[in-house]
Structures are given as C-alpha cells and as structure tokens.
Amino acid sequence: MDKLIIRGGRRLSGKVPVSGAKNAALPLMAASLLADAPLRLRNLPRLVDIATMADLLNHHGTAVTLEGATGNGTGFGRVMRLETPAIVDTTAPYDIVRRMRASILVLGPLLARAGTARVSLPGGCAIGTRPIDLHLKGLAALGAEIALEEGYVLARAPRGGLRGARVVLDKVSVGATENLLMAASLARGETVIENAAREPEIVDLGRCLVAMGARIEGLGTSRIEIAGVTRLGAADHRTMADRIEAGSYAIAAAITGGRVTLLGAEAAAMEAQIEILRAAGVKIATVPEGLEVSGGDGIRPVTCTTQPYPGFPTDMQAQLMALMCLADGASVITEAIFENRFMHVLELARMGADITVAGASATVRGVARLAGAPVMATDLRASMGLALAGLAADGVTEVHRLYHLDRGYERLEEKLLRLGADVARVAA
Ligand code: EPU
C-alpha cells in the first residue's frame, strides 16, 4: 500500500488544473445503462472509483472504451465511450459494490431499462451507516416491487414498466435523487421529486439525460419534474469540474500562505465554500482561467455547519478543519450530514491540533504550528484533510493508505509537485 511523504512548510504557488468531478462522473457513467446508443463522456477524471464503475458497467453489458486524453492540453482527464446494446446481467455483485458505495447508482437505470435489478446492499462505511431506504422508497413509488434477500436488493418493475409518481424524499439525498431521476426518465408518465437534492452534480446528470432525450424540468431546485420517454439515445457530454477537488487545492494555497490558480474551477458551484474561505481571510478572485486563491495574512476562525447544497459541503469539512487548526482563535465546525465524519480529528490531534468534539460539533482551537507525524484516515476527504495539514506542518508527515486519496484526487502528488510542494509517493 502506497503512502504519501510530505515535507511541510513550502508555500504552494502556480497553476493547477481542476479535474472532472468524481461525483458527477459516477452517475453520468451509470446513465449510460439507460440507452442502447453510445454515451461519450469528456473530462472524466482518472480515478480508481471511475475504473470500478467501468468494471461494474462492463459486467452489466456496457462496452467501455477510452478515447485517450481530453485534448484540453492539461494532460488530465479522459474521454470515455460507453455503449450498452443490451443489459446482459442485472446483478451488481457484492464484490464490486463493497469496493464503492456509488455502485448503488446502477439500481435505477437497470430497473428502468431491464425491468429488474439485483444489487448488493452497500452496508455501512467509514463515515456513517449510510442507508439506502430513500432510494428504495422512491423506486417503490414508481411501482417497483422491492425485496431484500441474502444481502441483495431485488427490484422488479411492474408489467409495462415503471410509472411516474410524486415522490417526496424525507431527507435530502444526492444518490436517491440521482437514482430516481434516471429511473423516472424512462418511466411511463410524469414523476415529480419533491425535496430533491440540488447539488451541481445532479444538474450535470440532468443535462446529460436531457441531451440523451429525457424531459426534465426544475434541475437545481428542490422540485424536479420528469416526463418519462420510451427511449433515450446517444449523447456527448462534458463532465463538470470537481468543486471538491478545487476547494481542496484552495485550502492547500491558504494553509501554506501560497497563491494558486485553480484552472477551470467553476465558481458558481462553490459559493458556500468561497464565502467561508473569505471569512477565514483567504483571498479569492475569479479570473478568466478559473479562480485565484491566496493566503498569507493569517487565518481567521470560522463557524461552519455542513449542509446539502447550496450549503457548505460535507466533502470539504475535513479540509476546512485542517485549515482551522492553524487559525488565530477558536472555530466551531458542525457535521450535519454524516454521523461519523470526524475520523480525522484524532489524527490531526497527533499532529498537535487542539480539537474537542461534542456530538456533531468540533471546537478547533488554532495552534501556532502543527508537527508532522505518520497519520492515516479511513476515508477519502479525511485523508485529504491530513495531507493538507501535512503541507503546513513542521517536519515530515506520512499519509498512509494512499488508496483512499486515489479514489478521489486525480494524480494528487503530481499536482502538488507542480505547485512546489515537497511530496513523494512511496510503496509502504
Ligand atoms: N441517507 C439516508 N437514506 C438514503 C440515502 C441517504 O438516510 O437512502 C442519508 C445519508 O446517510 C446521509 C444523508 O442522507 O446522512 C445524505 O446522503 P446522500 O444520499 O446525499 O449521499 P450519497 O449520495 O451517498 C454523495 C456523495 C458523497 C457526499 C454526499 C453528500 C457521490 C458518489 N457521493 O453521497 O461523496 O458526501 O453525497 O454530499 O456522489 C465523497 O466524495 O467523499 C463522498 C462521500
């Protein structure tokens, strides 16, 4: 298992290309199951999770071909062509689903296109229990019969296929909204999703579905209306920029007192992040190439609660906490989405951070310096939080279990090296 060795203290400076968004790419790829015509996705990040989704789709009958580099001159990202002439297997096996929870995104498309699906239950994960009850309730409202058997969800569409319905989600869920959006696109009649998630990744998926022939209104709002069609066709779609990767590099600039241009960052999708970082004293300017971020005038403490979009993203909570470890005063960070997403706290404490957790809130008292240490995390964003702390810490930080970072950050060490960080990947 590889680890990342970071010698902290370098001010990062320069330009870094923002990759395509993992959390947009995964549902976009799953959407290819809905049509027998090819879906061409540009700006897909090169990540382990993308490869896992490609494996899963391949298992269902999708021919996945890489068409080479994006051609955007950055050397990052790729173009993928996905074509599913027929669904050859409607089971998403445990072996693949356990590697990546987002595998659940094939449930809606399989059910809509093939009339049946058998998907392994994803189980809990490092950041919480993460049930899928909302996905199942929503699909049941579209007429699916759902049963649980031997660790698998068995879903069957009624004779004549799924039918449109009004679905009210009890809680805002990105994945449930995506599954329902895809399934309803091929259902008979009209579906309305109330209390839908509004994440930009869902808008990206919706736009791609519209390009494939779906009829969707209200994307980006909490009420999405879908008029089902009988068939979806070919499309060519560019994956949106990764707002979480961009935010993570913004914090890399801020925590090292550096100056970084985030090439291709989409500011409109990052408003809550930009607001919090500005409150923390980070300078952020929109430039034609993306966003320019600079730190260096001290870090101010902030109060922040994670929220569904357009609120501050839970996927940036660990990285923000790393920054607040070095703030001039006490911050309060509340995690309101996942019940167990503070696994980085004790590791940050091992680097000298002063953090007290009470329930869903962490009080972070800024310290003058962090000290490098061997650390490891149990999830992707927590690992990034630790890497960011390492960039600012005195001495050497070793981030173990680098495979977490490889799931969500395209060629992390290469991008950090470009910005002048002293980092190396070594086989542990
Ligand atoms: N929830 C339920 N029942 C459900 C579904 C969700 O109770 O059926 C709960 C969850 O347990 C959680 C909350 O609702 O407390 C929100 O979960 P959501 O369904 O929105 O999350 P997700 O779709 O499983 C996606 C991202 C996550 C990101 C969350 C929240 C992808 C592939 N994953 O997960 O990304 O944290 O939305 O924004 O899009 C990451 O990239 O590191 C990551 C974990």
Residue whose Cα lies nearest atom 9 of ligand 1: it is 130
The pTM (predicted TM-score) of the whole model is 0.97
Does ligand 1 have an atom closer than 6 angstroms to the CB of 152? no
Does ligand 1 have an atom closer than 6 angstroms to the CB of 59? no
Sequential DSSP letters for 279-348: HTT-EEEEETTEEEEE--S-----EEEB-STTSB-GGGHHHHHHHHTTSSSEEEEE--S-TT--THHHHH
Is pLDDT of 185 > 90?
A: yes
Does ligand 1 have an atom closer than 6 angstroms to the CB of 319? no
C-alpha 304 – ligand 1 centre gap (Å) = 19
pLDDT value of residue 72: 56
Does ligand 1 have an atom closer than 6 angstroms to the CB of 381? yes
Neighbours of 368 (CB within 10 A): 7
**Mean pLDDT calculated for residue range 179-187:** 98
Q: 230 near 52, Cβ under 8 Å?
A: no
**Mean pLDDT calculated for residue range 340-357:** 96
User: Of the candidates 428, 422, 410, which has an alpha carbon nearest to the alpha carbon of residue 77?
Assistant: 410
Q: 192 near 224, Cβ under 8 Å?
A: yes
pLDDT level of residue 167 (50, 70, 90 thresholds): very high
Is pLDDT of 428 > 80?
A: no
CA–CA separation, 389 and 410 (whole Å): 19
C-alpha 105 – ligand 1 centre gap (Å) = 12
Does ligand 1 have an atom closer than 6 angstroms to the CB of 134? yes
CA–CA separation, 62 and 278 (whole Å): 44
Give me the percent of the chain exceeding a pLDDT of 90. Answer: 92
Is pLDDT of 179 > 60?
A: yes
Is pLDDT of 125 > 90?
A: no
Q: Which of 99, 171, 306, 405 to mutate to test the pocket of ligand 1 (most atoms within 8 A of CB)?
A: 171
Q: Strand 396-400 to strand 422-427: parallel, antiparallel, or no bridges (unpaired)? A: unpaired
Does ligand 1 have an atom closer than 6 angstroms to the CB of 23? yes
Does ligand 1 have an atom closer than 6 angstroms to the CB of 407? no
Residue of 197 and 128 predicted with greater confidence: 197
pLDDT value of residue 124: 65
> Could you tell me which residues come within 8 angstroms of residue 207 by beta carbon, excluding any fewer than 6 positions away?
219, 237
Residue whose Cα lies nearest atom 28 of ligand 1: it is 315
Residue whose Cα lies nearest atom 39 of ligand 1: it is 23
Does ligand 1 have an atom closer than 6 angstroms to the CB of 242? no
C-alpha 114 – ligand 1 centre gap (Å) = 26
Does ligand 1 have an atom closer than 6 angstroms to the CB of 311? no
Q: Which of 28, 107, 174 to mutate to test the pocket of ligand 1 (most atoms within 8 A of CB)?
A: 174
pLDDT value of residue 340: 86
The pLDDT tens digits of the residues spanning 223-271 come to 999 999 999 999 999 999 999 999 999 999 999 999 999 999 999 999 9
Beta bridge partners of 223: 194
C-alpha 413 – ligand 1 centre gap (Å) = 27
C-alpha 403 – ligand 1 centre gap (Å) = 20
Is pLDDT of 77 > 90?
A: no
CA–CA separation, 276 and 292 (whole Å): 15
Is pLDDT of 357 > 80?
A: yes
Burial (CB count <10 Å: 0-12, 13-18, 19+), residue 357: middle
Does ligand 1 have an atom closer than 6 angstroms to the CB of 102? yes
Does ligand 1 have an atom closer than 6 angstroms to the CB of 341? no
Please tell me whether residue 12 adopts helix, strand or coil conformation: coil
CA–CA separation, 156 and 154 (whole Å): 7
Cα 196 to Cα 202, 207, 220: the distances in Å are 10, 16, 9
CA–CA separation, 233 and 32 (whole Å): 9
Q: Which ligand 1 atom sits closest to the C-alpha of 315?
A: 36
Sequential DSSP letters for 340-406: T--THHHHHHHTT-EEEEETTEEEEE--S--B--EEE-SSHHHHHHHHHHHHHSBSEEEEE-THHHH
pLDDT value of residue 69: 63
Amino acid (1-letter code) at residue 5: I
Is pLDDT of 314 > 90?
A: yes
Q: Which of 173, 240, 306, 307 to mutate to test the pocket of ligand 1 (most atoms within 8 A of CB)?
A: 173
C-alpha 173 – ligand 1 centre gap (Å) = 6
Q: Which ligand 1 atom sits closest to the C-alpha of 244?
A: 41
Residue whose Cα lies nearest atom 6 of ligand 1: it is 173
Whether residue 304 lies in the annotated active site: no
pLDDT value of residue 377: 84
C-alpha 12 – ligand 1 centre gap (Å) = 31
End-to-end CA, the chain: 5
